[in-house]
Structure 1
Amino acid sequence: MPSPINLNLNYENPIKIAEGIYWVGFCDEESGLHCNPYLIVDGDEAVVIDGGSRPDFPTVMTKILKTGTDPSDIRALIYHHYDPDLCGSVSDYEDIIERDDLRIMSTLENNFFIRHYGPSSALVDIAEYNDRFTFSSGRTLAFIRTPYAHSAGSFITYDELSGVVFTSDLFGSYGREWELFIIFDDLCKNCTPSDPCPHDKPYCPMDDILTFHKMIMPSGKALRHAAKQILGTPAGMAAPQHGSVIPVEGDFRTIGSRLLSLADVGIDRIVKEEGDT
């Protein structure tokens, strides 16, 4: 059953998910892999998180403009890893933002690859800023490393003001049934997904999340370390780059605990070490 939080949402417009934070993504009903760029606005300053692919750029930038944000207000583009669904439009952003001091922020390991998208702005290693970005108001974004989840330089971003953690591929999902917000009922939180559903539900979002992590994350060890980093924050909402926003803290922490114990992740599905069953 759709959550009431999804009623009357117009996906043609930006959608505010928290204080100063907007989803500016593209709702593609034909795709199972939904990508979620986010805009954070603080006064007359803004940053874009995981800005999106080049084909999606006109849609994303139109939504940014609809928030009332002038492109020249965007001080930084933050990229959690280097895949084209995040970084493909970086040059398009530069062309419209037109700031000499625009920063493209990621980790050193990611910047080795982001440079191949042809950006002209400074590629900044987040370590140079002590893994933080601070607006003029004092609002702070904390960057938390999640190596090999799924790239060597992967990290996530925690907004200390809103309590939103931007989790990149972590806590994401793949599935043709999609809504921007997802809320789990008690029957689904600890259920073992199976076909058919033991509760006679037509769709299992938990299965989509767990299967996505098995396919995308390279190993259970990398996933467990990353999940611990996220669960170690005081976040109340998870905003992944794929799938749906998880607005209820209890839900996202339940999912986190399931990821900690998830078996057969990545290479672990294929190669068994001696002694493994």
Structure 2
Amino acid sequence: MINTLNLNLNYDDPIKIAEDIYWVGFYDEETGLHCNPYLIVDGDEAVVIDGGSRPDFPTVMTKILKTGTDPSSIRGLIYHHYDPDLCGSVSDYEDIIERDDLRIMSALENNFFIRHYGPSASLVDIAEFNDRFTFKSGRVLEFIRTPYAHSAGSFITFDELSGVAFTSDLFGSYGRQWDLFIGIDDACRTCEKLDACPQSRTYCPIVDILTFHQMIMPSGKALRHAIQQILKTPAGMVAPQHGSVIPVEQDFRAIGARLMDLKGVGIDRIITDEGDAR
């Protein structure tokens, strides 16, 4: 496993987060919503996960090229939902990859909307392949459904070989203070005073994660179901599409437990009981 913490990272380059897996995102210092496309390379094949917006595409593709990956080796584009920060550049990828057998993969519920970005290739419903993508080597990416977290067709991708779960918005965050990797210590994992740090720290990444889920997820029920699906996997690392990678299993499972108990998520912040609006 790559030592991902306490590194002097150059965000102008692709960054390896696990063996043959790269962050190829854009570090935008002007926004608190950092987007994280990922590249998986398996021999002479590759897959891009949540490829990014159209304005970010030149940066993302430059980083893909810096890994030594030939665009024509990209067999699949995986989109966990249909937002423009994931899918806006889908036509740009097609223009550069130039493969007749390129798969643009998402859930059927997402494909209804992804088609409006104008892809020329056929959109593939992941159900057609039993929620799996298999490389020629036999390496398997498993697609795990997380409906309404935050779209009806949301899912995550679990790479069985590396143990990395690509979790889309789940485990994501919004915040002006950003690093690609975050870690928390024992005191933070069990802290009950997140609003006033007992260690007098000026920044708590857990607060940003919890607040993001309260704002983005539709309801506590949808969030709990989605987190349950992730915690059932043997994942050792989670790589969200927003925020920071959480490379230590103990850390993301501790944060997952907090998300399971999170109150005031989505509509639950506005309506406490059916028909009871605040």
Fold agreement, TM-score > 0.5: yes
* Cα distance in 2, alignment partners of residues 194 and 236 from structure 1: 25
Equivalent residue, structure 1, for 2:138: 138
* Superposition deviation, residue 194 in structure 1: 4.3
Structure 2 distance, partners of 1:214, 1:46, is 34
**1:193 CA displacement:** 4.8
CA contact (8 A) 2:147 2:154 kept: yes
Distance 2:274 2:215 in 1: 22
Query: What is aligned with 1:29?
Result: 29
Structure 1 residues 72 and 275: CA distance shift in structure 2, 3 A: closer
For residue 238 of structure 1, give the secondary structure of its aligned residue in structure 2.
strand
Distance 1:125 1:68 in 2: 30
- Residue by residue over 1:65-122, the C-alpha shift from the partner in whole angstroms, topping out at 9 and shown as x without a partner, is 0000000000000000000000000000000000011010000000000000000011
Query: Which whole-Å CA distance do the structure 2 matches of 1:205 and 1:78 have between them?
Result: 27
Q: Does the Cα contact within 8 Å between 1:193 and 1:204 map onto a contact in 2?
A: no
For residue 165 of structure 2, give the secondary structure of its aligned residue in structure 1.
strand
In structure 2, relative to structure 1, the CA distance for the partners of 1:123 and 1:196 (3 Å cut) is same
Pairwise CA distance, 1:199: 1.9
Residue by residue over 1:228-264, the C-alpha shift from the partner in whole angstroms, topping out at 9 and shown as x without a partner, is 0000000000000000000000001011111111011
Name the CA shift for 1:256/1:196 in 2 (closer, same or farther; >3 Å): closer
SS at the partner of 2:271?
coil
Aligned 1:75-224 pairs, distance under 5 A: 75-224=75-224
Q: Aligned-pair distance for 1:30?
A: 1.6
Quickly say closer, same or farther: Cα 1:209–1:193, change in 2 above 3 A.
Answer: farther
Task: Measure, in 1, the Cα distance between the counterparts of 2:19 and 2:121.
Answer: 28
Q: What is the CA-CA distance between 1:57 and the residue it aligns to?
A: 0.2
Structure 2 CA distance for aligned equivalents of residues 76 and 102 of structure 1: 6
What secondary structure sits across from 2:5 in the alignment?
A: helix
Q: Give the CA deviation at 1:274.
A: 5.5
**TM-score normalised by the chain length of structure 2:** 0.96
| CA deviations over 1:162-189 (Å, ceiling 9, x no partner) | 0000000000000011001100012211
Which structure 2 segments of 5+ residues have no match? Answer: none
1:9 aligned partner? 9
- 1:66 — aligned with what? 66
Matches of 1:245 and 1:274 in 2, distance apart? 36
Work out whether residues 42 and 135 of structure 1, in 8 Å CA contact, stay in contact via their aligned partners in 2.
yes
Is the aligned partner of 1:265 residue 2:262? Answer: no
Check 1:16–1:70 CA distance in 2 against 1; reply closer, same or farther (3 A cut): same
Deviations 1:133-168 (A, max 9, x none): 000000000000000000000000000000000000
Q: Is 1:225 aligned to residue 225 of structure 2?
A: yes
Give the letter for the 1:256 counterpart: G
Deviation at 1:6, TM superposition (A): 3.8
**What's the C-alpha RMSD, in Å, of the aligned pairs?**
1.6
Structure 1 gaps of 5+ residues are: none
Letter in 2 for 1:33: L
Query: Following the alignment from structure 2 to structure 1, what is the Cα–Cα distance between the partners of residues 192 and 218?
Result: 22
CA distance in 2, matches of 1:195, 1:253: 21
When the two structures are superposed, what TM-score results if normalisation uses the length of structure 1? Answer: 0.96
| Residue identity opposite 1:135 in structure 2 | F
